[in-house]
Amino acid sequence: MFSALAHPTRRALLARLADGPASVTELAAPFAVSLPAISKHISVLEQAGLLQRTQSGRVHTCALDAAPLRDAADFVQRYQVFWTQTLDALAAYAEATAPEPESD
Amino acid sequence: MFSALAHPTRRALLARLADGPASVTELAAPFAVSLPAISKHISVLEQAGLLQRTQSGRVHTCALDAAPLRDAADFVQRYQVFWTQTLDALAAYAEATAPEPESD
DNA sequence: AAATCATTTAACGAGTTGGTTAAACGTTAT
DNA sequence: ATAACGTTTAACCAACTCGTTAAATGATTT
């Protein structure tokens, strides 16, 4: 999943699909690589569950499926406190997760 | 960045660091791989900016730096609308491409 | 039926990743 | 000074990634 997102071409493909479904050739058009290369990228995205294929005739139409990205969002947001809060809040968070008997 | 997150061991290291800084040996302890392997993972995280190293004596203390994760969060959240509206969008698209009169 | 089109598969090569063990490096302790 | 410790570097290997070109597949058009 994260490795599917790790390649810039694949992120660009997702961005393109955010504007609507497209065929493999349409998806490949903006890129300077061969069609088989794009085909492989699409397979990677499909296997990561980020892309759904619908074959109608000889045209494979690809559509974005962002559902798995929710997991990535969940993962990343667990760390949100570490970049949004101040050091005080960070300390509070540390204390909340690993309570330390300080007094009382 | 995404490729740094792509390896489960590295995500586990980040999770561990979320509880506070730790030395390389401490970080390596829970894993069944050799110390050099962990050392490399730490280097990858460090190069991705997710980890800061402080050498004091012969001990390298590693601390989480979640700031770069903000970029990942930004990326992922651009797609949030696609998984919050997924059911409607998918239904509409399915109906448009393969019209299946199920209810009228 | 033959040609063309959209796409994938096959086979290959260069470079990277993720692991290993052995050795090196610098720090601390005896 | 010597030994032990924490960590990295070196050298190596197997497996994977990302790209290529050439051929195959299957659908459509002529």
Structural domain includes residue B29 = yes
Structural domain includes residue B9 = yes
Grouping H, G, I as helix, E, B as strand and the rest as coil, residue A74 is helix
- Buried-state track A43-77, b at ≥16 Cβ within 10 A, e below 16: ebbbebebbbeeeeeeebbbbbbbbbbbebbebbe
pLDDT the model gives residue B83: 85
| Residues of chain B positioned with their CB less than 8 A from the CB of A11 | 75
- Clarify whether residues A53 and A73 are in a common domain: no
Residue B3 touches chain A, beta carbons under 8 Å? yes
Structural domain includes residue B11 = yes
pLDDT, tens digit, 9 for 90 and up, residues B12-52:
999 999 999 999 999 999 999 999 999 999 999 999 999 99
How far is it between the farthest Cα atoms of chain A?
A: 73
- Chain B, 23-62: which have a CB under 8 Å from a chain A CB? none
Domain enclosing residue B18, as ranges: 2-64
Nucleotides of D under 7 A from a protein CB: 5-11, 17-22, 26-28
* Count of the separate structural domains present in chain A: 2
- Clarify whether residues A57 and A6 are in a common domain: yes
Q: How far is CA B20 from CA A15, A81, B36, B52, in A?
A: 36, 13, 22, 12
Grouping H, G, I as helix, E, B as strand and the rest as coil, residue B41 is helix
Phi-psi region of A45 (alpha: psi -120 to 50; beta: other; left: phi over 0): alpha
- Clarify whether residues B76 and B52 are in a common domain: no
Query: Is A72 in contact with B72 (Cβ distance < 8 A)?
Result: yes
- Clarify whether residues B53 and B35 are in a common domain: yes
pLDDT the model gives residue A84: 79
